[in-house]
Structure 1
Amino acid sequence: MDCWKGAICRSWIYPTVIICANGFFSAMRPSESFLTPYLTGPDKNLTIEEVTNQIFPVWTYSYLALLFPVFLITDYARYKPVLHLQGISFIITWLLLLFAHGVLAMQMVEFFYGMATATEVAYYAYIYSVVSPDHYQRVTSYCRSITLVAATVAAVLGQLLVSLADVSYFHLNAITLASVSLAFVCSFFLPMPQKSMFFHRKDVSPTPPAPDKAAVASVGPDGPSSCHEDEGSVSADRGPTPKAQADNAEPQNHVLRVLVQLSKDLRDCYSSRKLLYWSLWWALATAGFNQVLNYIQVLWDFRAPSHSSAVYNGAVEAIATFLGSATSMAVGYAKVNWDLSGELVLGIFSAMDAGSLFLMYFTNNIWACYAGYLAFKACYMLLITIATFQIAVNLSMERYALMFGFNNFVALVIQTILTIVVVDSKGLGLDISTQFLIYGCYFAFIAGIFLIRSVYTFISTKRRNNSVVDESTDH
C-alpha cells in the first residue's frame, strides 16, 4: 500500500496502529502453552525423549544460524520485507504443526519457528524508521505493551478453551494459524520506510551536523560510563558526508564500511567496564532463561503427564506474564543507586532464580513446580528491565540496537552450547529433571559471580571514600 496517498498515512499514528496490529496477532498464539502436550499426545504421538532431545534443540540451532544474517538483511531491506518473511515463517510453522507428522517434520517446524524468532528484530526496529524521534518513547511503549497484552490474552484464551470448552489442541493450533495469518495480512498495509539505521541513512544537507547532545558521557573510576559518540558514528538522523555520498555507488564498499563501523561501535561500547558487566549478566542470564522457557513444558508434562492430569499451562503462563510486567513496572519507581548496588541486586535475584530451579528439580508436586516457574520468570523480568535501562541510558539509537543485538547473539551462543552439551541426544542427552538441576547450578554460578563482584565494588568504594576523607583531613 502506498501510504503517501493520504495525509493520515504520513503521520506517526497510522504506522503505529498497523505495526501494533501486526504485533498483536503475531503474539496471539493460544496453542503455544500446550505445545508439548500436543506433540506427545495422540495428534503427533511423539515421545518425551524425541521432543526434548531431537526436536526442541533445532530451534536453538536455527535461531543462532539465522540471527546475524537476518539482522543485516533487516536493515538493508528496510524492515518491511522481513516482516513479510516473519509472517510466512509463522504460517509454515503452524501448517506443519497441523498437518505434518514425524520427528523430521517437527524439526522443520522448529527451523521455521527459529526463522520467525530471528525476524522479530524487524518488528521492534521498524517503527523507528517511519516516525520522528519525538514519538520514540510513546511508540516503543505501544509496540512492546501490545505484544505483552497479546501473550496474556493468548494464554488465558487457550486455558479457558481447553478447561471449559474442551477444545482440542489441534483446534487451538488452527486458531493460532488464523491469528498469524492476520498478522501477515497486516504487514502489507505498512508504509515502506525510506531509511534504516545503518545501510539507508536519511539524506540531509551536506553541511556539518550539530554536536550530538548524547556524545558526552561521564567518566568514573572504572572507565567511561557509556559509549561516546564520535564524528564517524553512523546515525539514522545524520546525513552522509560528501565522501560517503560518493561511495554510495560502490555497494560492496558501503557494506564493508558499515561492518567496520559496527565493529568499532562494539569495541567502544564494551570498553566501558560498567556496560561490560551489565552485558555479561544479560548474556549469561538470557541464555539460561531461554533454555528454561524452551523446556519448562516438558518438565511439567514429566511431573504431571497431560494424558492423565489436568493441564494448566495457559493459566500459569498468563500469571507469569502478569507478574513479569508488574515487576518490570516496579523498577521505574525504585530509588536505588544502581552504580553501587546494581551488581548486588543482580547477584541476589540470580540466586533466587537458582533457588526456583532447584525447587523445580527436587519437588514432584506440579503446583510447587508452577510456583517455582512464576518466581523464576518474575525475577528474570525484574533484572532484565534494570539491565536494559542501565545499558540504554546513554547510548544513541544505533548503539542501543547494536549492543542489545550483540548481547542476545552471545546469549544464543551460550544457549547453543548448553543445548549441545546438556540436551541434544548427540551430547549428554540428559533427562528433563536432571537438566533443571544443571540450570539451577548455572544460575547459582551467575549469582556467585555478581555477589563476589558486588563485595569488591563495596570495598573499593569504601576505600576510595576513606582516602578522600584522609586527604581532606590532611589539608
Structure 2
Amino acid sequence: MGCWKQEKTNTWAFPTLMLCLYGFFYMMKPSEPFLTPYLTGPDKNLTTEEVTNQILPVWTYSYLALLVPVFLLTDYVRYKPVLLLQGVSLIVTWLLLLFAHGVLAMQLVEFFYGMVTATEVAYYAYIYSVVSSQHYQRVTSYCRSVTLVAATVAAVLGQLLVSLAGVSYFYLNAITLASVSLALLCALFLPAPQRSMFFHRREAAEPLPGPAQGPCREETSPGAAAGAPSPQPPAGSAGPHGPVLGVLLQLGRDLRDCYGSRSLLCWSLWWALATAGFNQVVNYVQVLWDLRAPSHSSAVYNGAVEAVATLLSSVTSFLVQYMKINWDHFGELALGIFSAIDAACLFLMHFFTNIWACYAGYLIFKACYVLLLTIATFQIAVNLSMERYALMFGFNNFIALLIQTILTIVVVDSRGLGLDIVTQFLIYGSYFVVIHGIFMIRSICVLVSCKCQRKIARSCTEQLNQAEHESREQIVTSYMTRL
C-alpha cells in the first residue's frame, strides 16, 4: 500500500508538465488572429467571397464528420496516438498555409484544421488516465490555465510583431509552424496511459505508467474516483455484440440518464445553441473586421483584440466562484438576459461601420458567452461522474456542431444562400434573439411555478397552524367542561 501511494505521488508531475508544455506550444499561434488578412492579402491573393463562402465552411464540415469517430478512437487507442495525430495535423496545416496556393489548397487547410479541433478531446481527457483522482482539480487548472496564457501571449506577440516590427503575415505563420512542431515533440515524451474511460476500464487495475513499474498497482478507476455508480458492467467488456457496440450501447444508456434531469437538459440546450452561434461568430468575425478596416489600407489590431478578449474571458470565469445565486431558480433568467446582450453586440457589429464598435461588440460578446459557459460547465459537472461528464460535454458539442453546420449550409455556403458577411451578422444576432426568447419564457415559467409553490406551502402552513390552534381550543374546552 505504501509503495502504491508513493507511485501515485511520483507519476502525476511529469505527464502534467509535458501536457502543459504541449498545450502551450499548441496554443502559441501568433498568426491565427491574422488569418483573413493573410488569405486576402498578396501572399494568397484570395477574394473575401472565396474565403467566406468556399474556404471557411470546410472547417465546420470536416469537424462534424470527424468528431464522433475521433472521440471513439481517442478512447480506444488511449489518447497519446491521437495527440500525436493532432500534432502532425497542425504541422500539415501550417505547411500548406505557408507554401500552398489556391482555393482548393486552402480548403485542404481547413480540413486538416478540422482534424485538429476534433482531436482536442484527447488533450483534456489524457490527464485523467495517468493521474489519480486526488490530483484532478490541480492538473485541470494547470492545463486550462496554460492554454489561456499561451493564447494571450500569442495574440500580443503577433500584434507587436505586426504593429511595431512590421513583420509580414508569412513570417507569423512560420513562427506558428515552429511552435506546433515543438508541441509534437512534447507529445512524443508523454507516457502511454494504461487505461481509458470507456474501452479499457477493466485495465484500471494495471500499474500507472512511470519509472518504477513494480508490484504496485492503481486501485481505483476514474469512474470510481469520481463517484460514478458501479453496478453496471464495464462498457468495454467483451460481450456478444463486441466491444465497440457494447460501448455505444452503454453510452446511449448514460446519455438517457444524463438528459433525464430537467435542469441538466436546460443547461445543455443553452450550451448547444449558444456554442453553435459563438463558433460561427468567431469563425467569420475576421472577415467582418477586414471589411470594416481593410488590412491593405488600415492598421490591423486583431491580435490586441483577441488578447483582451481572452483576458476578459479569464476574468469572467474567475468571478463565477463569487456569484452566490440560486441557479435552479434564476439560471434560465441569466441565460435569457446574457443571450440578449450577445444579440445586442452582434446587432452593433452589423449596423455600425466603425471598426472600434465591431471590436467592442466582439469583446462583450465573447466575455458574456464564456461567463455563461463556465456556469453551465459547473452546473453540469457537479452532478455527473467523470465518464458522464466527458460524455455529456462531448455530446453537447456534437449537437452544437450539427446546428452550426446547418447555419453554415444555409447562410454561408455558396451552394446555399451565400450571404455577404454583414448580412450574416444580422442573422447571427437574430439567432441569439431566439435563444433569448426561449430561455426568458422558460425562466418566467420557473419563477411563476416557484411563486405558486411558495403560496401553496404558505397556505398549507396557515391551515396546519389554524388546525393546531383549533385542536388546542377543543382540548381546553373539553378539559374545562369536565371540571
Note whether the superposition's TM-score is higher than 0.5.
Answer: yes
Residue in 1 that maps onto 2:318: 329
Deviations along 1:424-451, one digit per CA (max 9) or x if unpaired, are 0000000000000000000010011111
Deviations along 1:97-149, one digit per CA (max 9) or x if unpaired, are 00000000000000000001100000000000000000000000000000000
Identity across aligned pairs (percent)?
Answer: 72
Q: Aligned partners of 2:66 and 2:233: how far apart in 1? A: 26
The answer to whether the Cα contact below 8 Å between 2:80 and 2:192 also exists between their aligned partners in 1 is yes
The answer to whether the Cα contact below 8 Å between 2:97 and 2:106 also exists between their aligned partners in 1 is yes
Residue in 2 that maps onto 1:287: 276
Q: Aligned partners of 1:208 and 1:164: how far apart in 2? A: 54
| CA spacing shift, 1:203–1:363, aligned 2, 3 Å | closer
TM-aligned CA deviation for residue 471 of structure 1: 1.1
Q: Name the aligned partner's letter for residue 158 of structure 2.
A: G
Q: Aligned partners of 1:123 and 1:318: how far apart in 2? A: 22
Residue in 2 that maps onto 1:64: 64
The answer to whether the Cα contact below 8 Å between 2:205 and 2:220 also exists between their aligned partners in 1 is no
Residue in 2 that maps onto 1:347: 336
Please report the RMSD computed on the Cα atoms of aligned residues, expressed in angstroms: 2.1
Q: Aligned partners of 1:387 and 1:429: how far apart in 2? A: 33
Residue in 2 that maps onto 1:123: 123
Q: Name the aligned partner's letter for residue 393 of structure 1.
A: V
Deviations along 1:242-287, one digit per CA (max 9) or x if unpaired, are xx4xx37x8x612211111000000011011111010000000000
2:377 to 377, 382, 388: 388
Q: Name the aligned partner's letter for residue 432 of structure 2.
A: F
Give the 3-state SS of the residue equivalent to 1:167 in structure 2.
coil
| CA spacing shift, 1:371–1:203, aligned 2, 3 Å | closer
Q: Aligned partners of 1:256 and 1:426: how far apart in 2? A: 36
Deviations along 1:328-385, one digit per CA (max 9) or x if unpaired, are 1111111111001111000000000000000000000000110000000000000000
Q: Aligned partners of 1:75 and 1:208: how far apart in 2? A: 18
Residue 300, structure 1, aligned to residue 292, structure 2: no
| Pairing of 1:232-381 with structure 2 (within 5 A) | 232=232, 234=234, 244=237, 247=238, 253-381=242-370
Q: Aligned partners of 2:9 and 2:112: how far apart in 1? A: 32
| Pairing of 1:14-413 with structure 2 (within 5 A) | 14-201=14-201, 202-204=203-205, 229=229, 231-232=231-232, 234=234, 244=237, 247=238, 253-413=242-402
Q: Aligned partners of 1:62 and 1:204: how far apart in 2? A: 37
The answer to whether the Cα contact below 8 Å between 1:8 and 1:14 also exists between their aligned partners in 2 is no
Q: Name the aligned partner's letter for residue 386 of structure 1.
A: I
TM-aligned CA deviation for residue 212 of structure 1: 6.3
The answer to whether the Cα contact below 8 Å between 1:357 and 1:372 also exists between their aligned partners in 2 is yes
| CA spacing shift, 1:146–1:212, aligned 2, 3 Å | closer
TM-aligned CA deviation for residue 203 of structure 1: 4.3
Residue 453, structure 1, aligned to residue 442, structure 2: yes
Give the 3-state SS of the residue equivalent to 1:42 in structure 2.
coil
Residue 437, structure 1, aligned to residue 430, structure 2: no
Deviations along 1:51-78, one digit per CA (max 9) or x if unpaired, are 0000000000000000000000000000
- The two structures have a TM-score, normalised by structure 1, of 0.91
Q: Aligned partners of 2:234 and 2:283: how far apart in 1? A: 36
| Structure possessing the higher radius of gyration over alpha carbons | 2
Q: Aligned partners of 2:366 and 2:353: how far apart in 1? A: 20
Q: Aligned partners of 1:300 and 1:374: how far apart in 2? A: 13
Q: Name the aligned partner's letter for residue 398 of structure 1.
A: E
Residue 470, structure 1, aligned to residue 459, structure 2: yes
Moved more, 253-262 or 57-66: 253-262
Residue in 2 that maps onto 1:416: 405
Give the 3-state SS of the residue equivalent to 1:101 in structure 2.
coil
Q: Aligned partners of 2:313 and 2:277: how far apart in 1? A: 16
Q: Aligned partners of 2:220 and 2:281: how far apart in 1? A: 50
Q: Aligned partners of 2:124 and 2:179: how far apart in 1? A: 19
The answer to whether the Cα contact below 8 Å between 2:155 and 2:303 also exists between their aligned partners in 1 is yes
Give the 3-state SS of the residue equivalent to 2:322 in structure 1.
coil
TM-aligned CA deviation for residue 229 of structure 1: 3.3
Point out 4+ residue stretches in structure 1 off by more than 2 angstroms.
Answer: 7-10, 202-205, 211-215
Q: How many residues align?
A: 445
Give the 3-state SS of the residue equivalent to 1:332 in structure 2.
helix
Q: Aligned partners of 2:127 and 2:220: how far apart in 1? A: 27
Q: Aligned partners of 1:74 and 1:212: how far apart in 2? A: 21
The answer to whether the Cα contact below 8 Å between 2:8 and 2:131 also exists between their aligned partners in 1 is no
The answer to whether the Cα contact below 8 Å between 2:320 and 2:374 also exists between their aligned partners in 1 is yes
Residue in 2 that maps onto 1:3: none
